[in-house]
Amino acid sequence: MRKIAQVVMIVAFAALSGCSENNASQLFETAKFEELQNNKEHAVQLYEEIITKHPQSEFTDKAKERLAVLKANK
C-alpha cells in the first residue's frame, strides 16, 4: 500500500510540474495578444506574473525582454 501511495505522489508531482510550464506558455501568449490589442498595462501584468510565478520557465527570459521593451516605450 505504501508503494502505491509513493507512486501516486510521484505521478501527481510530475503532472503538476508540466502544468506550470503550460500555464506560463498560456500567460505569455495572452500577454502577446494583449500587446497586439494595445492593452499594454494588462500585458505588463501578465509578463510580471510569469516572472514571479514561473521563474524557472523557458518563458521567463522572454517575458523580461518584452517587459523591458514595454517599460522603455512608456
Question: All 3 cell numbers of residue 17?
Answer: 510540474
pLDDT at res. 14: 46
Q: Binning pLDDT at 50, 70 and 90, where does residue 4 land? A: low
Q: The whole model's pTM is what? A: 0.73
**What tens digit of pLDDT does each residue of 26-63 get?**
999 999 999 999 999 999 999 999 999 999 999 999 99
Greatest distance between any 2 Cα atoms in the chain: 59
pLDDT at res. 21: 74
End-to-end CA distance of the chain: 59
**What tens digit of pLDDT does each residue of 7-20 get?**
445 544 444 444 56
Angle at 11 between CA 8 and CA 16, to 5 degrees: 120
pLDDT at res. 2: 61
